[in-house]
Amino acid sequence: MPLFLTRLLTRFAVLSSWLTPVVVIAFVFTTSWPLMTLAEPGSELVQPAQYWWYFVVTAATVGYGDLYPKTGFGHVVGAYVIVGGIAALTTVFTKLTSVLERSRGRRMQGTNTVTASGHIVVLGYEPGRTERIIAQLLAEAEGSHRIVLCAWDEVATHPMPAQDIDFVRGELTEEDVLRRAGVHRAAAVLVDARDDNEALSIAVGVDHLNTEAHVVVALRDMERATLLHYVDAEIHCVPWHTPRMITEELTSPGIAEVYADLMTHGGANTYSVRLPDSLGAVSVEHCQTALGRKHGALVLAVRDADGALVVNPSWASHLAAGAMLYYVSERRLTTHEVVEALS
């Protein structure tokens, strides 16, 4: 009877539902109890407080043996309960396997919908480049932000299945695809398109869905940044050829602007000067305070006489004569000015 019921439900396309094992168990329970009552009249086994326990243990094929039928007909009913339990468990495991396979298939094919929030969305995929960017993001984020990779339809399957990141596939300018990637709930979005025109189109869609997210756009021609700022003045544009700067901007908003000012004379510039032998050994702390007070300069890095470069050196360290200072200042300082400030 349980097998017949399962086949009947299959014919009516119910087997694909979680309802199937429930129906099978309910049917077997409601039919086996009266039959067991007929087979074992007056037995403790058929008492309401006992039979449900016997049914669960027997249907699950555990068989503790604390309650069991003693007549031949009771054994037949017990076998009926066992077969019904096996049929129900089979449908449960079949359904569970199907759900897991479909879930894995959706993840690999990029057809799923991301339910995360406060995550980082990477829009665009280029082999090698995107792997490098995401690897840096995973290292920088340290698990604080989930990462979603959203690629074009031409990327047929998840390009980074070994990484714990979500994958969505589709036309990146379509709102439905951006929503499946959770752009409207994202904390940060990277637009890494195939060209600057496409980047502009995608950025418009992103800004439409989420005006609060930190949006970073990788551009091949930085003069296009003016157009993107018409979309939203808060969009941050980064040179396409600097993946490291891209990841830093995503995890440390505003750092790209600092770099850009350093490289484009944004009120200051970077210079170097060699410490003359007449000064002898000088501490980094003295260089920072004296040059800062006298000329508004900030020491970024030093290179010792052996050629080793140290960025953001410890203030407690000392520099030997001949060491090179790299500093930020409104103008280049002469050797005489450096000696005067440090003497």
pTM of model > 0.75: no
Distance CA 81, CA 193 (A): 61
CA-wise closest residue to 25 among 91, 79, 74, 93? 91
Is 180:114 a contact under the CB 8 Å cutoff?
yes
The 8-class DSSP code of residue 223 comes to G
The pLDDT of residue 105 is above 60 = no
Question: Does the pLDDT of residue 14 top 50, yes or no?
Answer: no
Cβ atoms of residues 281 and 319 within 8 Å: yes
Name the one residue in this structure whose structure tokens are 């403790």: 44
pLDDT band at 15; cut points 50, 70, 90: very low
Q: How confident is the model at residue 93 (pLDDT cuts 50, 70, 90)?
A: confident
Report the candidate in 101, 104, 112, 110 with the shortest Cα–Cα distance to residue 157: 110
Summarised one tens digit per residue, pLDDT across range 198-208 is: 999 999 999 99
pLDDT one-digit tens code per residue, 300-340: 889 887 778 888 889 988 888 888 888 888 888 888 888 88
pLDDT in tens, 248-303: 888 888 877 777 666 555 566 788 888 888 888 889 899 899 999 988 888 888 98
Pairing of strands 166-169, 236-239: unpaired
User: Which pair of tokens denotes residue 337?
Assistant: 């000015």
Contacts of 33 (CB under 8 A, 6+ apart): 46, 51, 55
Rounded Cα distance between 233 and 33, Å, is 73
**Which of 1-10, 154-163, 284-293 shows the lowest per-residue confidence on average (mean pLDDT)?**
1-10
Model confidence at 16: pLDDT above 60: no
The segment with the largest mean pLDDT, out of 8-12, 13-17, 56-60, 167-171, is: 167-171
Residue 244 φ/ψ, nearest 5 degrees: -65, -40
